[in-house]
Each structure stands twice: as C-alpha cells, then as structure tokens.
C-alpha cells in the first residue's frame, strides 16, 4: 500500500519555466489537497478537491492550477515559475473532511532560480 506518492522529490526551475508536480493516492480517498511549506510558516493550502472533477482554491492559489480527472490523481501545475514559489510542496488526501486525518506524501522540494 503506497499511500500518497509525489514526484519528483526535487526540482530546480528557472524563472518563467513551467512544470507539473504529480500526486497519486491508492486509498480511494475523495479529498485531496496541495500545501506549500515555508520555513517557520506552517502549511498553507494551495488547492483542494472533494472528488473527481471538483477543485477549488485554497489560501494561496495564485500562480498554480490543478485538475482532478480521476479519484487517484491530483497534479499541481506551476505556470511561469517565480522565486516566491520556492518551497516544499506536499500533497495529502483524506477519506472525507470533518474529523478524519490526512495522509501526506513525502514532498517535492522546488527551487526557482
């Protein structure tokens, strides 16, 4: 049981380049999330999805896009990378909202230079 799998683990982008961070979960969870983690700042929600075909913005969505064509996959797209997007990105999933805990991937460390 792999849980939540993120690829790549590390990436260096040049300013203005684009890339997609991949996220897949094999637990049949309806809810999926993308967070960014900046030092001393905790986790900030970028986008979330409550099921296939349904996505919505979180706290810090600017500069990102997502899609959810299947229950398993929730890719995050960065368009026109900027240095402010240098961060560690975590994908997570949960069976539902409410009192259920989230399961996190190992993260993608992105540096924009």
Partner 1 sequence: AQSVAQPEDQVNVAEGNPLTVKCTYSVSGNPYLFWYVQYPNRGLQFLLKYITGDNLVKGSYGFEAEFNKSQTSFHLKKPSALVSDSALYFCAVRLNTGGFKTIFGAGTRLFVKA
Residue with Cβ nearer partner 1 (96 or 111): 96
Dihedral angle at the C-alpha atoms of 40, 42, 44, 48, nearest 10 degrees?
A: 150
Q: How far is the CB of 69 from partner 1 (least distance, A)?
A: 20
**Residue ranges in contact with partner 1 by CB under 8 A:** 4, 31, 33, 35, 40-43, 45, 48, 50, 58, 90, 92, 94, 96-99, 101-107
Instruction: Give least dist CB 51 to partner 1, A.
Output: 12
Cα angle at 101 between 97 and 102, to 5 degrees? 90
Spatial distance between the Cα atoms of 2 and 67, rounded to a whole number of angstroms: 21
**Least distance between partner 1 and beta carbon 101 (Å):** 4
E-assigned strands of 8-107?
10-13, 19-25, 31-37, 43-51, 54-57, 64-66, 76-78, 87-94, 103-104
CB closer to partner 1, 17 vs 95? 95
CB nearer partner 1, residue 11 or residue 103 = 103
Query: Which is closer to partner 1, CB of 71 or CB of 105?
Result: 105
């Amino acid at each position: 049981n792999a849980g939540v799998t993120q690829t790549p683990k590390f990436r260096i982008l040049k300013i203005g380049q684009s890339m997609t961070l991949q996220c897949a979960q094999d637990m049949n969870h309806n809810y999926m999330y993308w967070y960014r983690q900046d030092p001393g700042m905790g986790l900030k929600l970028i986008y979330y999805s409550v099921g296939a075909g349904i996505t919505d913005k979180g706290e810090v969505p600017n500069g990102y896009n997502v899609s959810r064509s299947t229950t398993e996959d929730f890719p995050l797209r960065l368009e026109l990378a900027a240095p402010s997007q240098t961060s560690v990105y975590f994908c997570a999933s949960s069976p539902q909202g409410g009192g259920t805990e989230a399961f996190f991937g190992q993260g993608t460390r992105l540096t924009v230079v």
